[in-house]
Structure 1
Amino acid sequence: MIKKYLLETGFIFSIIAGSLLSIQASEIVCQIKNTEYESLKKSDSIPIFPDLVYEYKIAELNNLTPIELEYNDKVRRYIDVYTIERREHLAKIIGLAEYYFPIFEEALDKYNLPLELKYLAIVESALDPRAISSTAAVGLWQFKINTSKMFDLEVNSYIDERCDPLKSTEAACSYLQYLYRIYNNWQLALAAYNGGPGVVRNAIERSGGKTSFWEIQPFLPEQTKGYVPAFIAVNYVMSHYKDHNIEPVRPDYIFIDVDTVKTTKAVSFQRISDVIHVPLETLQFLNPSYKQDYIPKMKDGAVIVLPKEKIKPFIKNEKVIFDDKIEVKDFHDQVADAGEKNGKVKIVHEVAKGEYFHKIAIKYNCTIDDIRTWNSLPSNDLNVGQLLDIWVTPAMANRIEEEKLQPKQQRDSTDRYIYYTVQKGDTVWSIASKFNCRSISELKEENNIVDETDLKPGLKLKIFLNN
Structure 2
Amino acid sequence: MLIGGVSFVPMNLPYTFPVPPVTIRIPYALPGLLLPLLLLLLAPIGRPAAAASAPDVFSSASLSASLDSLMQASYFSDEHFAVPSGTETRSGFPLQFVPQYSDSVYAARIEALNRKTPFNLTYNNHVKGFIRVYAVDKRIATTKILGLTRIYFPMFEAALARHNVPADMKYLAIVESALNPTAVSRAGAKGLWQFMYGTGSRYGLESSSFIEDRFNPRKASDAAARHLRDLYNIYGDWFLALAAYNSGPGNVNKAIRKARAASGSSGNRDYWTIWRYLPAETRGYVPAFIAVHYIMNYHREHNLEPLLPGFLYRDIESVEVRRPVSFERVSLTLGLPIEDLRFLNPQYKIGFVPAGNTAKGELRIPEQYARVFSDRENDLYDPVVTALDIPEGITDTAEVVPDVSPLQPSPPARITTHRVAKGETAASIARRYGISIRELAELNGLGGRMLIQRGQRLSIATTDTGSRKNSGRDVRYHRVRRGETLSDIASEYRISVRRLAEWNRISNKKIIRTGQKLRVSP
TM-score interval, normalised by the smaller of the two chains: 0.5 to 0.7
TM superposition shift of 1:365: 3.0
Most deviating of 240-249 and 189-198: 240-249
Q: 1:189 matched to which residue of 2?
A: 241
Matched, 1:297 2:355: yes
Summarize the Cα distance change of 1:311–1:363 in structure 2 as closer, same or farther, 3 Å threshold. closer
Which stretches in structure 1 are left out of the alignment for 5+ residues?
A: 1-7, 11-38, 348-361, 368-467
Which stretches in structure 2 are left out of the alignment for 5+ residues?
A: 1-26, 30-90, 262-267, 401-405, 412-522
| AA aligned opposite 1:108 | L
Summarize the Cα distance change of 1:115–1:48 in structure 2 as closer, same or farther, 3 Å threshold. same
* Superposed counterparts of 1:138-287, under 5 Å: 138-208=190-260, 210-287=268-345
Matched, 1:124 2:176: yes
* Regions of 4+ moved over 4 Å: 327-330, 340-347
* Superposed counterparts of 1:35-434, under 5 Å: 41-208=93-260, 210-298=268-356, 299-326=358-385, 365=409
- Equivalent residues of 1:143, 1:162 under 8 A apart: yes
- Equivalent residues of 2:161, 2:167 under 8 A apart: yes
Structure having the higher Rg: 2
The structure with the largest helix share of the pair is 1
| AA aligned opposite 1:324 | P
Bigger relative contact order, structure 1 or 2 (CA pairs below 8 A, ≥6 apart): 2
TM superposition shift of 1:53: 0.8
TM superposition shift of 1:167: 1.3
| AA aligned opposite 1:157 | S
Tell me how large the CA RMSD over aligned residues is. Answer: 3.0
- Cα distance in 2 for partners of 1:305, 1:263 equals 10
- Cα distance in 2 for partners of 1:315, 1:277 equals 14
TM superposition shift of 1:341: 9.3
- Equivalent residues of 2:350, 2:395 under 8 A apart: no
Deviations 1:355-380 (A, max 9, x none): xxxxxxx977389xxxxxxxxxxxxx
Instruction: Give aligned pairs, total.
Output: 312
Summarize the Cα distance change of 1:146–1:75 in structure 2 as closer, same or farther, 3 Å threshold. same
Partner-residue secondary structure (3-state), 2:384: coil
Deviations 1:90-147 (A, max 9, x none): 1111111111111111121222221100101111111111111111011111111111
TM superposition shift of 1:56: 0.5
- Cα distance in 1 for partners of 2:249, 2:243 equals 8
- Cα distance in 1 for partners of 2:188, 2:285 equals 18
TM superposition shift of 1:316: 1.8
TM superposition shift of 1:305: 0.9
Aligned identity (percent) is: 39
- Cα distance in 2 for partners of 1:276, 1:51 equals 54
- Equivalent residues of 1:281, 1:343 under 8 A apart: no
Summarize the Cα distance change of 1:366–1:162 in structure 2 as closer, same or farther, 3 Å threshold. closer
- Cα distance in 1 for partners of 2:247, 2:398 equals 34
- Cα distance in 1 for partners of 2:215, 2:208 equals 12
| AA aligned opposite 1:309 | Q
- Equivalent residues of 1:91, 1:247 under 8 A apart: yes
- Cα distance in 2 for partners of 1:345, 1:204 equals 36
Deviations 1:406-448 (A, max 9, x none): xxxxxxxxxxxxxxxxxxxxxxxxxxxxxxxxxxxxxxxxxxx
Partner-residue secondary structure (3-state), 1:175: helix
| AA aligned opposite 2:326 | S
Summarize the Cα distance change of 1:300–1:366 in structure 2 as closer, same or farther, 3 Å threshold. closer
Summarize the Cα distance change of 1:40–1:364 in structure 2 as closer, same or farther, 3 Å threshold. farther
TM superposition shift of 1:213: 1.6
- Cα distance in 1 for partners of 2:362, 2:398 equals 26
Partner-residue secondary structure (3-state), 2:362: strand
TM-score by length of 2: 0.56
| AA aligned opposite 1:365 | P
TM superposition shift of 1:346: 13
- Cα distance in 2 for partners of 1:238, 1:316 equals 41
- Equivalent residues of 1:44, 1:245 under 8 A apart: no
TM-score by length of 1: 0.62
